[in-house]
Amino acid sequence: MAVIPSIKLSELTGQIHDVINGVFGAKTFWVIADITNYTYKPQSNFHYFELVEKDKSSAKILAKIGGRAWGNASVNISNFEKATGQQFKNDINVLVQVAVQYSPSFGLQLNLLDIDTSFTLGRFEQQRKETLDRLVRDNPSFIRLENGQYLTRNSELSLNRVLQRIAVISSNTSAGYHDFKHTLENNTFGYHFEIDDYFALVQGEGNAKQFLAKLIQVFGSGKEYDALVIIRGGGAQTDFLIFDNYELNRAIAKFPIPVITGIGHQKNETIADLMAHTSTKTPTKAAEMLIAHNRNFEESVLSLQQHLVIRTFQMMTQHKEQLTRLNQLIINSSKNMLHEKHRDIVNLSGLILTNPKIIISNKNKDLNNLLANFKSFNRMYFINHTRYISHFESVVRMMSPQNILNKGFAIIKVNGSIVSNAESIIPGTSLTVSLASAEINTKVLSKSPRNGKEFEL
């Protein structure tokens, strides 16, 4: 049986170590990769993880290798978290400096030496820009970019003259929220604000849906709020990623109530600041903005009041002068009118004293003429009406029934009623015939037509 040449595993791994150490031993590399399978051992201050590269279209893993960090590398990770506000954890994309190391006992791995904070911050800014571009591109009806400024339906709303009914979305444990309430409640002007709280988690991009639900709750409340205030205290930049969420900012841009942000960030504005009606740097500044807005209204009212007082005084002075002139004009006019009327009365009294006899004589002549005319017309009137009465008396005598009977005519009655139409008379009907000197009772024996008229029996 032939003997197969062999070596110990340690000899093989030792050769591998020598080869890898000879090629990579003195070199370091800056690598872009995602963190996965991350664990941290606080007792030893060791970080264990895997660096992974995935295909962007299919999410297929293209490369994967284990890594670790300790000592100065752990300090660099801590500095990275402070600078970016981003925890070193799974599923973040980083730019890290690594050295290749092969150990016969632990295999091939990468030792993390440093991590680039600017790369991560740049990724945040890139994501922010992509979100802004998408908001403008997909929502042209209520979001647009003009001269480097974002104009939204919300930013174009008009603020009420007084902002008093306020809806607030914030964390109930936020110091910024309590600063906001304290500033409003202790304002030096004594303004009263009606505040409705809608508490939600206001950090971490994963809480954007909960925050959006609160926004919808404010809208669905049916209350006529003057403004919606979004409050968040200070923190690291990644604490504000929730305010860069696409769906949340789309809702803010089209929200029908003016949105005021009081987000305590120190560097760049969040997208929520750009989509809202008004942005302030801190919750306290948001409260001061509400107070200042109402103070501007009060000052405008006070200015108007002062203007009205001054204008009223000016008008009273002007009218007083006009009344003085008018009073003098009335006095002068009254004197002239009294003089004229006095002359008229004197003239009239002279006429009354000199002309009464002439007037009485003329009126007496008029009465005598009227009396003579009345007597003359009265006599003629009675003569004419006497003639009319005599004429009517002769007509009445001629048309009297007795006179007609004296001329040979007769009156025919049926059952005591005068009959002038023969249609209702039939043979056998009893008649009463009235003559000038007697009445005859008789019956109809027959009936025949006269003047071409026939009757049906």
How sure is the predictor about 1, in pLDDT bands with cuts at 50, 70 and 90?
Answer: low
**264 contacts 283 by C-beta, under 8 angstroms:** yes
Q: What share of the chain is helix, strand, coil (3-state, %, to 5)?
A: 50, 25, 30
The gap from C-alpha 381 to its chain's centroid, in whole angstroms, comes to 89
Tell me: pLDDT of 303 over 60. Answer: yes
Give bridge partners of residue 278 from the DSSP assignment. Answer: 260
What is the per-residue pLDDT across 84-141, written as a single tens digit (0 to 9) for each? 767 788 878 889 999 998 888 888 899 999 998 888 777 777 788 888 899 999 999 9
Tell the residue number behind the tokens 């006179």, with chain if given: 403
What is the per-residue pLDDT across 322-354, written as a single tens digit (0 to 9) for each? 888 888 888 888 888 888 888 888 777 776 666
CA atoms within 13 A of residue 283's CA, in its CB half-sphere: 20
CA-nearest of 130, 222, 231 to 180 is 231
pLDDT at residue number 112: 92
- Rounded CA-CA distance 259/272 in Å is 9
Contacts of 434 (CB under 8 A, 6+ apart): 405, 410, 411, 412, 413
Length of the chain equals 457
pLDDT at residue number 235: 60
**65 contacts 48 by C-beta, under 8 angstroms:** no
Tell me: pLDDT of 457 over 50. Answer: no
Tell me: pLDDT of 454 over 60. Answer: no
CA-nearest of 244, 197, 7, 9 to 105 is 9
What is the per-residue pLDDT across 287-302, written as a single tens digit (0 to 9) for each? 999 999 999 998 988 8
Inter-CA distances, 331 with 319, 337, 338, 345, Å? 18, 10, 11, 21
**167 contacts 218 by C-beta, under 8 angstroms:** yes
Range among 183-192, 384-393, 425-434 rated most confident: 183-192
How sure is the predictor about 168, in pLDDT bands with cuts at 50, 70 and 90?
Answer: very high
- Rounded CA-CA distance 51/35 in Å is 5
Q: What are 210's two structure tokens? A: 């909960």
pLDDT at residue number 287: 93
DSSP per residue, 120-143: HHHHHHHHHHHHHHHHHHH-TTTE
Sequence ranges of the domains in the chain: 11-115, 126-297, 404-443
Tell me: pLDDT of 255 over 80. Answer: yes
What is the per-residue pLDDT across 346-375, written as a single tens digit (0 to 9) for each? 777 776 666 667 777 777 888 888 887 777
- Rounded CA-CA distance 17/71 in Å is 23
CA-nearest of 121, 115, 106 to 35 is 115
Better pLDDT: 308 or 1: 308
pTM of the full predicted structure? 0.52
DSSP per residue, 336-347: HHHHHHHHHHHH
Q: What are 305's two structure tokens? A: 């009041």
- Evaluated on CA atoms 133, 137, 139, 145, the torsion sign reads positive
Inter-CA distances, 258 with 136, 241, 263, Å? 19, 22, 16
Better pLDDT: 266 or 124: 124
Q: What are 44's two structure tokens? A: 């030893």
The CATH T-level fold of domain 11-115 is OB fold (Dihydrolipoamide Acetyltransferase, E2P) (2.40.50)
Class of domain 126-297: alpha beta
What rounded mean pLDDT belongs to the chain? Answer: 84
Tell me: pLDDT of 268 over 70. Answer: no
Average pLDDT over residues 403-418: 80
pLDDT at residue number 107: 86
CA-nearest of 219, 224, 231 to 181 is 231
CATH topology match: 11-115 vs 126-297: no
Tell me: pLDDT of 245 over 90. Answer: no
Tell the residue number behind the tokens 């093989």, with chain if given: 12
- Rounded CA-CA distance 380/378 in Å is 6
Inter-CA distances, 341 with 72, 97, 335, 354, Å? 120, 119, 10, 20
Cα Rg, the chain, nearest whole Å: 61
Element (H, E) at 82: helix 72-84
